[in-house]
Amino acid sequence: MPFFSFHPLSMTPLVLHVLFLLPSFHLSFCLHVVAPSDQDAQEEGEKWLCSYYFIMFAWLFFLNMSHSRNPFLIFVVLCFLFFVRPMVPQLAPPKIPEGDRVDFDDIHRKRMEKDLLELHTLIDVHFDQRKKDEEELISLKERIERRRSEKAEILRVRAEKEKDRQNRIAEERHRKEEEEAKKKADDDIKKKKVLSGIGANFGSFLAKAETRRGKRLTGREIKKKTLSERRQPLDIDNLREDALKQRAQEMWNWIYQLESDKFDFMEYMKHQKYEVPLVLAKSCFIVFLSSIYVCSCPIPYHILSIYLSIYVG
């Protein structure tokens, strides 16, 4: 057989010994030089080194037996490789020094204390937020009450101003009416003074005109009297819904009656529009004829016009 061939089963023992020793040297170098202080790494490396020695020994023995071409020896070697395992010593777990032992109860207690502290913090935050919310709610209620009181005060002041304005308007109206009445009385006095110089013949006519005029009222007085009779106070501040509805129905009936009266008076005025001028013309003509026949001298035109204005009113 040649010294060296390409088939792996025909390699010489020298080459196999070299291949067998190189990995063991490398692993020993790593264990004792690179990591001499790592106890776990050294134990794991020794276990793998023992297994490597066993496998290489079995492989060399198998090669030597294969050259002999003995089937029984090959079968024995295969059974040996299959059933025999490398003897690895049982490693005891490393003992932890007293100073490096971990107290799990202490860890659990610290964790519970941390959770309890966080819970207390959350509770404090919750109560602080609740206190702030209550303070904001109280301040909001105070602002609402303050605005409500301010609004009531504004409404009261506005009502007082409106009442004062209505009083001023009423006083101004009353003053104007008094001035007009006084002015009218002065005008009547002036007219009486003018008519007093006409003569004794017109005394009966003046007395009659004064009597008629005393019984009659002016248009403003009639309007004022009618409004005072028809105007009724509302008094709806303290009324309920049913009473308000009844009050509204009464006002609607009253307005309906006023519109009916207005329509009747409008129709009456349409008829009087044509009757009054005719009666006025007849009365003027009668007065004119009476003044001519009764008096010895004719009546001047301006005196007759004053008399007619008083008589017609």
Q: What is the residue type of 64?
A: N
Cα angle 175, 180, 181 (rounded to 5 degrees) comes to 95
Mean pLDDT of 10-31: 50
How many residues appear in the chain?
Answer: 313
Q: What does each C-alpha distance from 248 to 34, 233, 309 come to in angstroms?
A: 111, 13, 46
What's the token pair of residue 73?
A: 């020896």
Average pLDDT, the chain: 70
Q: How many other CB atoms sit within 10 Å of the CB of residue 141?
A: 10
Mean pLDDT of 21-45: 53
The per-residue pLDDT for 201 is 47
CA distance 28 to 49: 8
C-alpha 165: how far from chain center: 38
CA distance 136 to 123: 20
Where is pLDDT greater, at 245 or 125?
125
Q: Is the pLDDT of residue 118 over 80?
A: yes
Mean pLDDT of 283-297: 64
Where is pLDDT greater, at 72 or 245?
245
Q: What is the residue type of 290?
A: S
What's the token pair of residue 286?
A: 């009668």
* DSSP classification of residue 300: P
The per-residue pLDDT for 144 is 93
Task: Summarize pLDDT for 122-146 with one digit per residue, the tens.
Answer: 999 999 999 999 999 999 999 999 9
CA distance 276 to 313: 13
The backbone region for 102, taken as left when phi is positive above 0, alpha when psi lies in -120 to 50, beta otherwise, is beta
Q: What does each C-alpha distance from 3 to 12, 58, 64, 65, 254 come to in angstroms?
A: 7, 22, 15, 18, 146
Sequence ranges of the domains in the chain? 8-83, 121-193, 197-234+270-313
Minimum mean pLDDT among 97-101, 151-155, 174-178: which range?
A: 97-101
Phi then psi dihedrals of residue 95, to 5 deg = -85, 130
Minimum mean pLDDT among 99-103, 195-199, 233-237: which range?
A: 195-199
Listed residue (141, 11, 10) closest to 69, CA to CA: 10
The per-residue pLDDT for 33 is 46
